[in-house]
Structure 1
Amino acid sequence: MNAITTPLTVEGQSWNEYTLSNDNGMSVSFLDYGGIITSIITPDKHGNYENVVLGFDNYKDYLNNSNYFGALIGRVSGRIANSTFSLNGKTYELPANEGKHHLHGGPVGLHGVIWQVELIETATSTGAVLYHTSLDGDAGYPGTVKFKVSYTLTNDNEFTIDYEAISDQDTILSLTNHSYFNLTGNLKDTVLNHDLKIDASQYVELDHELIPTGRLVPVADTVFDFTKGRKIADGVGSNDPQNKIAGDGYDHFFIFNHKEDVNVELSEETSGRKLTVKTNQPAMVLYTGNSVDDSCTLKERQSVKHLGVCLETQSTPASLNYPGFPSILLAKHETYRHTTTFKFSTL
């Protein structure tokens, strides 16, 4: 188990890239800028070690990371309708960065700040703790919030992200990671032939601007039913109006049943790689890279649509407007605490 720090100079800024490696040869690399995960190296069924996430070839491209490759997302992941919300009788206006809506914390969210990093090594794991303080009024949000995010890699090929935060005022908060996974290895193909299983019986309907309508839809008898597993291609090639709204694919919020041992299973037959996700988050946004075009130069190739799939465990800003949704309210001095573990193995 070890951790390596590599200093970088990017457009005049001093960054660091950290690489966590376990005794099996698996590694996770990330930046202090945005907490961005730049690569995850795992073996396939033949023992070949390859990257399984999307990352830029040139680090400076992370400065304009409109696809949020690998980034920590906050203060609120997802879209806040009309860039406004009310809390304790007061209305807050947020900067719009997707049409009239506020997406993923705004133009300068947690994905665009430099985090303080402390490396942690134990007998059974290697990791890092990332710290950042967001001041009252940052991006229009109330409360000074102290963030602590831990990245931990074990010899069981488990990569865990622990999120903690505390605010000095009532506020709203929903953190996630925006890594795009591709288990083919070194982006050999799109994710269309990946098999996906989600322990979720309902998803949230979207309008034409990808804003939740407030309607929870049963997945039964639709291409949104991943309870027994299906190909990602099923939704991409679907004529379901919801798949069409999302740009031929998925960009939808699934409510976990929390009845299975794991919440999500993703696998790819050719490589034999398998990824399982276990979380105490109430739900997940499944995003299949529908808006990714050929404009990004990644480490292994030029980007294309559906080259990666995001498994964004989180709550939802839809709860600001509709009852019955997982809440994103964080009370003054209460601790926000969520954990998501990504376990890599082979079939």
Structure 2
Amino acid sequence: MPASTSPRLTRTRALAAVLGLGLVATTGLTAASAASARSRPSISAEAWGTAPDGTAVQRYTLRNGDTTVRILTYGGIVQSLEVPDEDGDVDNVVLGFSDLEGYVANNNPGPYFGALIGRYGNRIAGGKFTLDGVEHQLPLNNGPNSLHGGTDSFDKQVWEATPVKGSREVSLKLRLVSPDGDQGYPGELTTEVTYTLARHRQLSVHYEATTDAPTVVNLTNHTYWNLAGEGSGTIEDHELEIDASRYTPVDSTLIPTGELAPVEGTPMDFRHATPIGERIREPFQQIVYGQGYDHNWVLDRRSEGDLEKAATVHDPDSGRTLEISTTEPGLQFYSGNFLDGTLVGTGGKVYRQGDGLALETQHFPDSPNQPDFPSTVLRPGETYDTTTVFKLSD
């Protein structure tokens, strides 16, 4: 051993060799190890109150690189998502409440901030459908229609949670069993939704469901985005692109007419990046019905069932961009039309009209009553299986 080399440094070098690490000095190894530990994906849980039925609710925190996502077992809600902007400043870019009481009291009926939606996302006309000759009646919770699964739907349930940690990503698997007749839907439906936070600011949502009797299923997530930061004001200057040349026009109660109409020449054309507020006040009948955008776009898919880009949102001020890819045939774009200044968000600011937008990947609204729309029927022995990926960048 050279006289200038200490036994401690020799042991450190040996450890570095085993780990495959380069070493300049002992302090360098310590700093590198600390940085490596910080960059590893992690998941942790904390108590977050009690649901109205007495069930304990947990909040899980998923971290990977510079991204942090917090998810509740109540409603499977994405409560916050923190990422840096182009200057390195970190903001929460999704809308929500700061405590469980906010979600219990205001989220349904209300905005459905961040929630898992089921059994059926979006609207069903008259709250009824016929399947295999049997008519099923659902709760009417949106005027004459049923919305987002009913009055006591998936967003109000406490899901069973299982954390899954990998070397490059971290996941939270949520499970819920909906009994036969729940909210009027037939069949016992077992649903698993897995949130995965991968590197490079990518959050994927994988949905699976099986049933013991024929039923209809349309699951989605209802996160509201503001890429400038939650509570920062309007999203009307966000630039939106939707990969769709058609959409499904609606009647005055926001039920599809059955038509697949071209977007060309209308304010519904987002085939090229366009500021959301540029045409939102035009006297176009569909915008009048929705008091803004609240419509389903028919995605221009190249291959059925493959994961393909559906939409991109860019905020010029922060530099953040959100890209959404999905296996679903449709995308509901909602421009936060009914936020009215009565709700206080996670950052202590009130949410006003247009302070967030939702982009819900889905099958089409009212599909059980629209034979020409893609089917949402699920039968025993089949598996409902869809994926949506949200990727953020600056």
TM-score normalised to the size of structure 1? Answer: 0.97
Q: What is the DSSP-based 3-state SS (H/G/I as helix, E as strand, rest coil) of the residue aligned with 2:94? A: coil
Residue 216 of structure 1: CA displacement? 1.4
Amino acid at match of 1:162: H
Q: In the alignment, does 2:343 pair up with 1:296?
A: yes
Asked whether the equivalents of residues 317 and 328 of structure 1 are also in contact (C-alpha less than 8 Å), the reply is no
Please say if 1:60 is aligned against 2:101.
yes
3-state SS, counterpart of residue 262 of structure 1? strand
Instruction: Return the letter of the residue paired with 2:377.
Output: L
Q: What is the distance in 2 between the residues matched to 1:267 and 1:75?
A: 31
CA contact (8 A) 2:258 2:372 kept: no
For residues 99-143 of structure 1, give each alpha carbon's deviation from its aligned partner in whole angstroms, at most 9, with x where no partner exists.
Answer: 221100000110010000000010110111000100111111000
Residue identity opposite 2:134 in structure 1: K
Whether contact under 8 Å (1:279, 1:313) holds in the other structure is yes
Local SS of the residue matching 1:38: strand
Task: Report the CA distance shift for 1:232/1:22 in structure 2 as closer, same or farther (over 3 A).
Answer: same
Q: 1:210 aligns with which of 246, 254, 267?
A: 254
Partner of 2:332: 285
What is the Cα deviation at residue 261 of structure 1?
5.4
> Match for 2:295: what amino acid?
H
Contact preservation (8 Å) 2:310, 2:324: yes
More strand by share: 1
Q: Which residue of 2 aligns with 1:275?
A: 322
Task: Give 1:71 deviation, angstroms.
Answer: 0.3
* Equivalent of residue 22 in structure 1, options 64, 69, 73: 64
| Cα distance, 1:155 vs structure 2 | 1.2
Hey, which of these two has a bigger chunk of helix by percent? 2
Which of 134, 140, 144 aligns to 2:184? It is: 140
Deviation per residue, 1:190-238 (Å, 9 max, x gap): 1100000010010111111111111111000111111112111023222
* Counterpart for residue 7 of structure 1: 47
Aligned counterparts of 1:52 and 1:183: Cα–Cα separation in 2: 5
Counterparts of residues 84-95 of structure 1 (less than 5 Å): 84-95=128-139
SS at match of 2:257: strand
**85, 109, 120: which one pairs with 1:44?**
85
Partners of 1:186 and 1:321 in 2: CA distance: 37
Shift of 1:240: 0.7
CA contact (8 A) 2:231 2:351 kept: no
Partner Cα distance (1:180, 1:82) in 2: 27
Structure 2 match to 1:342: 390
Could you tell me which residue of structure 2 aligns to residue 255 of structure 1? 298
Q: How many residues align?
A: 344
Gaps of 5+ in 2: 1-40
| TM-aligned CA distance change 1:149 to 1:261, over 3 Å | closer
Q: Which residue number corresponds to residue 74 of structure 1? A: 118
Normalising by structure 2, we get a TM-score of 0.85
SS in 1 for 2:260: strand
CA distance in 1, matches of 2:282, 2:83: 32
Whole-Å separation in 2 of the counterparts to 1:8 and 1:186:
21
Q: What residue in structure 1 maps to residue 376 of structure 2?
A: 328
Rg larger in 1 or in 2? Answer: 2
Rounded to whole Å, the distance in 2 between the matches of 1:205 and 1:234 is: 20
Deviations 1:278-335 (A, max 9, x none): 0000111100110111111101211100111100000024322223212211122200
Matched, 1:106 2:153: no
Task: Determine the structure 2 residue equivalent to 1:189.
Answer: 233
The question of whether the paired residues in 2 share the 8 Å contact of 1:283 and 1:315 is answered with yes
Residues 62 and 170 in structure 2, CA contact (< 8 A), matched pair in contact too: yes
Contact 1:214 1:318 in 2 (8 A): no
Moved more, 78-87 or 311-320: 311-320
Structure 1 segments unaligned to the other structure (5+ residues)? none
C-alpha deviation, 1:13, in angstroms:
4.7
